[in-house]
Amino acid sequence: MTHAAESPRPSGPLGACTWSLRTPEPTSTADALNACGISSVQLALEPFRTGDWKLDDALLLFQDRNIHIVSGMMSMHAEDYTTLESIHATGGLRPTDAWPINCAATAQNAEIAERLSINLVTLRSEERRVGK
């Protein structure tokens, strides 16, 4: 019997995001994914943009571990997710004073996504209900 962690195929619709894993670097991210038997990841791009993670090293590691990057994600400058009120005030693209910083980061993250062959990059957003 083959274990999921040994499979070279993506884990289908099941994946994990690096924000949820809360891993400090690519090796622990790969370890956590392999331990869960998950081979698909939504990858935070900020650590690459800030230089905390090395793009080429992470790519090689994920390829060696049969981990497939299915999408990327980015956060906006000065987001505060501690309360619903702070999310409403600071979340996403809303704060205009952070626009120049967020615009520059978005362009840099787009270049990273292109190097990673990622076609989808998401960002956090608050849930909005129709009529509210």
**Tokens encoding 31:** 């370890």
pTM over 0.85: no
Q: Which token pair is 11?
A: 């884990």
Q: What does the pLDDT profile of the chain (132 residues) look like in tens digits? A: 344 444 444 556 688 999 889 999 999 999 999 999 999 999 999 999 999 999 999 999 999 999 999 999 998 888 888 888 988 888 887 788 889 999 999 999 999 999 999 999 998 654 444 444
Q: How many Å apart are CA 85 and CA 100, to the nearest integer?
A: 23
Tokens (6 digits) for 95: 């704060």
CA angle 88, 92, 20 (to 5 degrees): 95
Q: Which residue has the tokens 């994946």?
A: 15
